[in-house]
């Protein structure tokens, strides 16, 4: 039960929902405001009169100390002692505080990262990767069984281009020595060679088609290049503590496109236009959806259709998310609609989670792919920056890695999902209150205080002593964690969690900077140490959900 729920229960007001309550402006007295608009129709009175009547009729009990009518609102002044006892007991007695079982016996598939194996793991993959993982952890926090899917980009013309250039100017020794860097060099060379040899693109397309058809040489070369690229990607995933359950990519589903097209033909949905096969979505203002080229080659849409059908058959999901850039919105709308008109009832449970574009500050990080910095370079730069910030503190190098990697991931999540963002290394590795480093520092300070005062028995303490403003503000914020996590999940907005984490860290800093935790009063000391303890527990939970590494020393 939250403080908002407790207020309504103590006042015996059933018609108002906890979510209806709002905070009170600083210039007014009160902690929460109850709106009376919902009661107007039932009571046949104006909301302002209802607010006045309720303040006169209701008895302030339990957590409610005072009721003040302010127009159509009732401002609630909380009993600070009762508040402190209520919140601290809620958290201290619940090792799973902030979790819920809304997703019990439900399965969700989340398709994210979807790294393209014809290139480096670059900054374009970062948003889908960290947003998708944060959503996965939010769903797990609500009791769902989460299937993490990395839909690998492991076929297509880029592989044909790499093979064509490898056959023309590449060699095995350079691939073995330089790995993905050499593969990328061959890919870049293709564009230059094509300028003087326009027929080269046809050779690349031919190799691409050979891959699809299972040609032994094409398959062997393609698999070799993909293994090298996938190993690099897995090193990035290891840094981020991300593990996928399903690695089946486009190649796997290209082998299922024929049966998918046949299924759609049997349903009478396929039309042929200039030798190509399409689904007519004009009745839904979506135009024609191409599912097979005139040369018989499969398409991204067809593979997505096959993958969606296969995933439902495999996992019987209750919901399936696709985390990609917002620019792919229309693609997902079209293929969702194809499945819908094909009669798949579960198509309504497919959701596209779009996000804005991420770029870097010009000149701050130079990548080996021109204006598309690769993640290895970004992580190396961030780790080096964190190592520099920690210089002279005699801390382990793994700590610098944890700080640097967390900073990069958090810098994406702290922006509203749909907005474009610019990654700034200086801002990411900062202690100024708007970074993961600030959150980690706040957690370390809490743990340091607890470690220095570990001789106190915190199994029993008098929370009612926590009545200073810094304590009350912190307690009220700790109380809303379950609400914030639910809102973040419902909106698929990871920004809500990072915003909460930053504000919580700020309130923690105000608490231990403005008040002495260890005092001459042993009972007050125990109460404040207990507040440090539950604050650290909540902070560590939101750190985990946002991918920020929990560290014990800084």
Looking at the DSSP bridge assignments, the partners of residue 153 are: 116
User: For position 363, what pLDDT does the model report?
Assistant: 47
> Beta strands of 39-149 (E only): which ranges?
64-70, 73-78, 107-111, 145-149
Domain boundary residue among 219, 240, 261?
240
User: For position 421, what pLDDT does the model report?
Assistant: 81
Helical ranges in 197-327 per DSSP H: 200-213, 216-240, 250-254, 257-266, 300-315
User: Residue 448 domain-assigned?
Assistant: no
User: Residue 25 domain-assigned?
Assistant: yes
The C-alpha atoms of residue 125 and residue 119 are separated, in whole angstroms, by 11
Assign 3-class secondary structure to 165-222. HHHHHCCHHHHHHHCHHHHHHHHHHHHHHHHHCCCHHHHHHHHHHHHHHCCHHHHHHH
The C-alpha atoms of residue 402 and residue 405 are separated, in whole angstroms, by 5
The C-alpha atoms of residue 234 and residue 244 are separated, in whole angstroms, by 10
φ, ψ for residue 262, nearest 5 deg: -60, -40
User: Residue 483 domain-assigned?
Assistant: no
User: For position 46, what pLDDT does the model report?
Assistant: 93
Report the number of distinct structural domains present in the chain. 2
Measured from the Cβ of residue 491, the count of other Cβ atoms closer than 10 Å reads 11
Domain boundary residue among 20, 50, 78?
78
User: Residue 186 domain-assigned?
Assistant: yes
User: Range of 12's domain?
Assistant: 3-78
Nearest CA to 321 out of 173, 491, 189, 463 is that of: 491
User: For position 357, what pLDDT does the model report?
Assistant: 87
User: Residue 276 domain-assigned?
Assistant: no
User: Residue 371 domain-assigned?
Assistant: no
Nearest CA to 22 out of 468, 472, 476 is that of: 476
User: For position 368, what pLDDT does the model report?
Assistant: 45
> Tokens 């300028």 belong to which residue?
195
User: Residue 101 domain-assigned?
Assistant: no
Q: Are 255 and 140 in contact (CB under 8 A)?
A: no
User: For position 339, what pLDDT does the model report?
Assistant: 97
Tens digit of each residue's pLDDT (9 = 90 or more) over 505-553: 999 999 999 999 999 999 999 999 999 999 999 999 999 999 999 998 8
Question: Distances from the Cα of 298 to the Cαs of 282, 333, 494, 530, in angstroms?
Answer: 22, 19, 35, 61
In this structure, the strands spanning 32-35 and 145-149 are: unpaired
Domain boundary residue among 240, 259, 275?
240
Provide the CATH number for the domain around residue 18: 3.30.1360.70
User: For position 274, what pLDDT does the model report?
Assistant: 84
Low-confidence ranges of the chain (pLDDT < 70): 361-372, 392, 394-395, 431
User: Residue 206 domain-assigned?
Assistant: yes
The C-alpha atoms of residue 435 and residue 427 are separated, in whole angstroms, by 7
Q: Are 386 and 467 in contact (CB under 8 A)?
A: no
């Amino acid at each position: 039960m939250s403080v908002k729920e407790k207020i309504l229960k103590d006042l015996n007001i059933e018609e108002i929902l906890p979510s209806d309550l709002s905070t009170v402006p600083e210039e007014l007295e009160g902690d929460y405001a109850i709106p009376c608009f919902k009661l107007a129709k039932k009571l046949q009175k104006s909301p302002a009169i209802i607010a006045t009547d309720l303040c006169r009729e209701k008895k302030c009990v339990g957590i409610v100390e005072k009721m003040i009518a302010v127009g159509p609102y009732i401002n609630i002044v909380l009993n600070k002692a009762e508040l402190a006892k209520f919140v601290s007991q809620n958290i201290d007695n619940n090792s799973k505080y902030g979790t819920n079982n809304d997703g019990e016996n439900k399965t969700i598939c989340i398709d994210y990262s979807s790294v393209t194996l014809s290139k480096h793991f670059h900054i374009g993959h970062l948003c889908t990767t960290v947003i998708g993982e944060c959503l996965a952890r939010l769903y797990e926090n609500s009791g769902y069984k989460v299937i993490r899917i990395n839909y690998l980009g492991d076929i297509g013309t880029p592989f044909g281009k790499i093979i064509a250039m490898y056959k023309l100017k590449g060699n095995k020794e350079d691939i073995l020595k330089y790995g993905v860097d050499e593969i990328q060099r061959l890919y870049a060379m293709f564009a230059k060679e094509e300028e003087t040899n326009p027929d080269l693109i046809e050779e690349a397309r031919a190799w691409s088609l050979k891959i699809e058809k299972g040609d032994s040489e094409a398959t062997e070369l393609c698999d070799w290049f993909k293994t090298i690229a996938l190993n690099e990607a897995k090193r990035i995933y290891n840094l981020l503590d991300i593990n996928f359950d399903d690695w089946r990519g486009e190649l796997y589903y290209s082998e299922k496109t024929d049966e998918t097209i046949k299924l759609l033909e049997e349903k009478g949905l396929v039309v042929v236009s200039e030798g190509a096969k399409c689904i007519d979505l004009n009745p839904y203002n979506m135009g024609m959806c191409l599912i097979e080229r005139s040369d018989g080659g499969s398409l991204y849409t067809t593979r997505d259709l096959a993958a969606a059908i296969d995933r439902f058959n495999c996992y019987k999901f209750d919901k399936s998310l696709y985390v990609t850039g917002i620019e792919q919105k229309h693609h997902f709308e079209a293929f969702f609609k194809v499945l819908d008109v094909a009669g798949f009832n579960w198509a309504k449970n497919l959701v596209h989670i779009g996000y804005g574009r991420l770029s870097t500050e010009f000149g701050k990080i130079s990548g080996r792919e021109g204006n598309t910095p690769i993640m290895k370079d970004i992580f190396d730069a961030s780790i080096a920056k964190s190592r520099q910030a920690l210089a002279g503190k005699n801390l382990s190098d793994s700590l610098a890695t944890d700080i640097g990697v967390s900073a990069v991931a958090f810098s994406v999540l702290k922006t509203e999902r749909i907005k474009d963002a610019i990654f700034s290394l200086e801002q990411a590795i900062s202690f100024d209150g708007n970074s993961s480093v600030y959150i980690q520092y706040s957690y370390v300070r809490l743990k340091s205080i607890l470690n220095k005062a570990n001789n106190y028995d915190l199994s029993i303490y008098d929370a009612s002593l926590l009545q200073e403003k810094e304590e009350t503000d912190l307690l009220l914020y700790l109380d809303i964690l379950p609400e914030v996590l639910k809102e973040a999940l419902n909106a698929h907005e990871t920004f809500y969690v990072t915003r909460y984490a930053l504000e919580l860290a700020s309130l923690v800093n105000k608490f231990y900077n403005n008040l002495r935790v260890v005092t001459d009063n042993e009972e007050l000391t125990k109460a404040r140490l207990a507040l440090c303890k539950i604050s650290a527990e909540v902070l560590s939970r939101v750190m985990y959900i946002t991918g920020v590494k929990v560290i014990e020393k800084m």
